[in-house]
Chain A
Amino acid sequence: MYELKQVDKHFPGVHALKAVDFEVKRGEIVGLVGENGAGKSTLMKVIYGAYQPDGGNITIDGTTVRFQNPRQAMDHGIGMVFQEQSLITNLTVMENIFLGFEQQFVSYGVIDWKSMADAARHQLAKVKLDIDPATITSKLSFAQRQLVELAKVLTLEERVDGDLVILLDEPTSVLAKEEVELLFKLVRDLTKRASFIFVSHRMDEVLELSDRIYVMKDGEVVDVVGHDEADVDAIQHKMVGREVDKEYYREQKQQAYDAESVLLQFDDVSNGSRFKNISFSLHAGEVLCLVGTEGSGREAILRTIYGLETPSAGKVTIKGEQIAQFTARGGVERGVGYVPRERKVEGIVGGMNVYENMTLSQMENYASNGVLRTGEEKKLAKNWIERLGIKTPSEYKDCGGLSGGNQQKVVLAKWRSGGSDIILLDHPTRGLDIGAKEDVYEMVREMSDAGIGIILIADTLEEAIGLSHTIIVIKDGEFQKRFDGRPGDKPSLYDLVHHMI
C-alpha cells in the first residue's frame, strides 16, 4: 500500500540513503532496526515528509506522491509519534490533541470546549486511555503522555480518507515493562485501522511486535526478515557486518598501557537515573571506550569525571585523591581535559582566535597578577599549530572560521598544552572528513604513548574497537560487560552489539 522505491538521499559528504526499497502493507507492523547512523532516522524523516528524497519515488496505492513538509504527509495519512515528548505540558490534553486544528470547534470566535472535549474523548478511546480531556498534560505519567501522542496522530483518521501509516520512534524508551505490554496490545488492536512502522533499539521488542523487520546498515536495507524466521543473532550480524580495518585505526601503533599507574577510579558511582553503580579504572596510556546506545549514560559519566555534574553516590578518585567538590575548574586543575561532542558550542569559542582558545582553560599560566602575557600565548599557539599541523593562516584566525578537524585540534591543543593527562573525548570525530578523522586517531595514539589516559565515546563501534585498550559496555545506565582489546585480540562488533541492545 505504502511503498518507497530506490529512494536516495544525499547530504554534503554523506550518502545517507542508498536506493532504499521499503514497503508497508495494510494493517501491518513493520520493524526498523540498525545501528546509530545506519540511516533509520533519515528514512523516517523521508517517510513523514521532513526530508525530500533526491532519487527514487514514493507511492501510496500505486500513486506517486511527493511531500514538501510533514503537514502534507499528514494529509496523506502519514503521522509520526515522536520519540521526544512533543506535547506542550502546560496545555490540556484536548488542546494538545487538536493543536493547530482548533478551528473546527470555534463558532463566532469562541471555542466550544464541550465539543472539543467530546472529540478528544473519542480519540482517547481509540488508545483506551480513560482520562479527562481537560487534564493538564504535565499531570500525566510518561506512559499516558505517550498514548496521548498516539491519540493525537490518530486524529488523522477523521481528517484523511484512506489508510494511515503511523511511525513510532522509540516509543518504549520511557515506559516500564508492563506499560510496554499494554502499548503493544493497543498497537496490535489498532492495526485494524492503521499500519505501523516501529523503530526501537530494543531488539527483543522489535522482534515481538513486528510482522516484518527491515535491517539497515550504512544507508542501505541489508535484509528483510519475517516475524517467524527472525533471529536476534542473525539480525545483529547483519546490522554490523563489516570488520574493522586495522590500518585505519592505527592499531599497529597501539602499545600496552601501564597497569601500575591508575589515573582515575570509579567505585560504584551513580548519578540519579542517568547511570548506576559504575566502577572502572583508567590507567596511564590507556584508551578506555564507553560503548552503549544513545542515552545509555555515557556522556553523563564523562561530565561527572570532568566535574560538570555531581554524582549522587559512589567514590570518584583522581590520581589518588578522592573528589569531594565537583566543579569544572577543579577538573581542569586535576589535569582532566574535556573534548565535548558539540564542538562549535562547547568545544571552541567562535569569535575568539586560535591562541585565545588554546589558553582559555589555563589563563593563569600565562598571566601575572591577572595581566596576560600575550606574547607567550602566541608562542604557545604557534608551537602547537606546527606540532598538530593545524591548518590556519595564523594564530590570529577566528576559530569559528576553521574547519571542523582543525577546530578539534585546537581543542586538543588546549588540553595538551595545559598538561592534562586524563582526556575525555566525546565523539571526537563526529562530522569530520576522513583525513581529519585519521589525524584524530593519530593523536589518540600519540597521547597514549605519552602516558595520557583517554576515555572515549566513539562515533561508531568500529572506531571504538579499533582505538581502545578497554571497552566497557553500558546499557540503560548500567554496566554490562568489560572487554580487553589487545591488538589482534579485539572483540568483534557482534560481541558488543549483543550486550548493547
Chain B
Amino acid sequence: MNLETIRPHLPWITLLGLVVIVGLINPSFFNPSGLLSLATDVAPLFIMALGMTFAIYIGGIDLSAQQVANLITVLATVYLAQFGIGVALLCVLAGFLIGAISGFVTTRLYVPSFVSTLAMGFVALSAAKYFSGERALSMDATARNESFGWMFASTAGIPHPLIIAGVLLAIAWFLQTRTTFGRALKAVGAGELAAVASGLNVDRVKILAFALSGTFAAIAGLMFSVKLSGGDANLANGFLLLAIVAVLVGGTPLTGGVGGVLNTAIGTLIVMVIRAAMVYLEVDATQQQMVFGVVLIIAIALTIDRSKLRGVVK
C-alpha cells in the first residue's frame, strides 16, 4: 500500500476516523437529532463548496464566493418585499453573472483566477455596500415567511435545507458525470492542452465553471439570508476558508481533474465533524480559523498533483 493507491480513499477514511474519534469522546454525538441539526447548519456552506468544486475542478479557484454570498444576502433582503419569491431568480442571476465575468476575465484576458475572482469579489462587496447603505438590514418577517418560510420547514422529520442541499448535489453530480459539459470540465481539469487539441471550446467550459461557482454561492447566500432573516455586506464572512477546505479535504486537488462534487459532500462532512469536535473539546471558537488553516495546508499538500505543476511552483 502506498500513498497513490490510498489517496482516492483518504477522504472517507478520514471522515470515518474522525467520526469514530468524536464518537468515542462524546457518544452523544450520535444522537440523531443532534446530527441532523449539525447537518442542517452546514447546508449553506455545503452549497457554496459545491460551486467552488467546479472552479477548483478545472484547476482554478474562486475567491469571490464569500463576497458574492454577502451581496446576495443584501439583494435578497432589499428586494424581498418587491419581488417575493421572485427574488430568488434575481439572486441566482446575479451570482451567475458575477461568476461568468470572473471566468471571462480569467480565460479571455489571461488574468489568473485567484486575482480575477479576488477583484470581482471586491466589486461584489462594493455593490453589497451600495445596496445595503452600509447597514445591517433585516427582512420583513411576514414577507420572509410567506416567500421563503418553506426553506427552513421540514418534511417527515427531514429539514428542508438538507433536502435542498441534496437536490443541488444531485443536480451538480448529474452535470459532472452525465453531461457533455461535465466531461469537458474533466478534460479541461485533467489535460487542458489535450482538450484544446480535441477541438473543445475550452474557454466556454471554463467560463461556465466559474459562472456555476457564482450561482451556487448565490444560492448559499440566499439560504443564509433567509436563515438569519437579514442581509449585510459582511454576513457570510468566514465562509470562504471553510468552503475551500471542504473541497480540498474532500479530495479535489488544487490542480483539478479528479475528485468532484461527491467528494465535496464528504469534505463538508469532515468540516462539520471537526467543528463539532472542537465544540465538544471546548476548543475556543476563536481558534477554529487557525485549525482550519492548518487543515487546509495539510489537505493541499496531500492532494495536489505535483506532476501537473511541471517542475515550477510559483
Contacts and interface: CB of A to CB of B under 8 A. Distances in A.
A touching B, CB within 8 angstroms: yes
Given A370-B181, A372-B180, A361 B198 contact: yes
Contacts of A327: 199
A333 B199 CA distance: 9
A348 interface: yes
A414 B195 CA distance: 12
Contacts of A333: 199
Contacts of A361: 198-200
Contact of A348 (B181, B194, B257): B194
Interface string B44-60: 00000000000000000
A226 interface: no
B179 A360 contact: no
Contacts of B200: 328-329, 360-361
A364 B198 CA distance: 13
A348 B191 CA distance: 8
B196 interface: yes
B190 interface: yes
A346 B183 contact: no
B257 A356 contact: no
Nearest to A364: B180
B297 to A, nearest CB: 24
Nearest to B310: A345
Interface centre among B193, B194, B196, B197 (most CB of A within 10 A): B197
A443 B22 CA distance: 60
A307 B198 CA distance: 11
Contacts of B193: 342, 345-346
Contacts of B108: none
B184 interface: yes
Interface string B281-300: 00000000000000000000
A347 B197 contact: yes
B92 to A, nearest CB: 19
Contacts of A352: 186-187, 190-191
Interface string B182-211: 011011001101111111110000000000
A356 B183 contact: yes
Given A345-B191, A350-B191, A352-B187, A370 B197 contact: no
Given A367-B179, A372-B180, A360 B198 contact: yes
Interface string B247-271: 0000000000110000000000000
Interface in A324-357: 327-329, 331-333, 338, 340, 342, 345-352, 356
A463 to B, nearest CB: 22
Nearest to A331: B199
A19 interface: no
A333 B184 CA distance: 17
B183 A372 contact: yes
A110 B201 CA distance: 52
Contacts of B258: 351
A5 B201 CA distance: 55
A64 interface: no
A363 B183 contact: yes
Contacts of A332: 198-199
Nearest to B174: A371
Nearest to A348: B194
Given A329-B201, A363-B180, A356 B194 contact: no
B191 A308 contact: no
B178 interface: yes
A374 interface: yes
Nearest to A307: B199
A349 B187 contact: yes
Interface in B162-181: 178-181
Contacts of B187: 349, 352, 356, 360
Contacts of B201: 329
B4 to A, nearest CB: 12
B257 A372 contact: no
A356 B199 contact: no
Interface string B218-260: 0000000000000000000000000000000000000001100
Nearest to A377: B183
B196 A308 contact: yes
Given A349-B190, A352-B186, A352-B187, A328 B180 contact: no
B196 A360 contact: no
Question: Which one of B190, B199, B200, B257 has the highest number of Cβ atoms from chain A below 10 Å of its Cβ?
Answer: B199
B186 A328 contact: no
Interface centre among A345, A349, A361 (most CB of B within 10 A): A349
A171 B179 CA distance: 52
Nearest to B258: A351
Nearest to B191: A349
B133 to A, nearest CB: 42
A371 B191 CA distance: 22
A352 B178 CA distance: 14
Interface in A40-75: none
Given A351-B258, A352-B186, A346 B180 contact: no
B197 A338 contact: yes
Most chain A CB within 10 A, of B178, B190, B257, is at: B190
Nearest to A356: B183
A15 to B, nearest CB: 28
User: Which of B178, B183, B196 has the most chain A CB atoms closer than 10 A to its own CB?
Assistant: B183
Nearest to B199: A332
A308 B184 contact: no
Given A356-B186, A360-B198, A372 B179 contact: yes
B195 A349 contact: yes
Given A328-B196, A328-B199, A363 B184 contact: yes
A359 B200 CA distance: 11
Contacts of B180: 363-364, 367, 370-372
A350 B198 contact: no
A351 B197 contact: no
A332 B199 CA distance: 6
A345 B196 CA distance: 11
Contacts of B178: 371-372, 374
Contacts of A414: 198
Nearest to A374: B178
A358 to B, nearest CB: 10
Contacts of A359: 183
Nearest to A303: B197
Interface string A288-313: 00000000000000000011100000
A311 B197 CA distance: 18
Contacts of B191: 345, 348-352
7 smallest CB-CB distances across A and B, nearest first, come from A332-B199, A351-B190, A349-B191, A361-B198, A363-B180, A328-B199, A346-B197
Interface of B: 178-181, 183-184, 186-187, 190-191, 193-201, 257-258
Given A333-B199, A346-B196, A349-B191, 17 more contacts: A307-B199, A327-B199, A328-B197, A329-B200, A345-B194, A349-B187, A349-B194, A351-B190, A351-B191, A351-B257, A352-B186, A356-B186, A356-B187, A359-B183, A367-B180, A370-B181, A374-B178
30 contacts: A307-B199, A308-B197, A328-B196, A328-B197, A328-B199, A329-B199, A329-B200, A331-B199, A345-B191, A346-B193, A347-B194, A348-B191, A349-B186, A349-B190, A349-B194, A351-B257, A352-B190, A359-B183, A360-B194, A360-B200, A361-B198, A361-B200, A363-B184, A364-B180, A367-B179, A370-B181, A372-B180, A372-B183, A374-B178, A414-B198
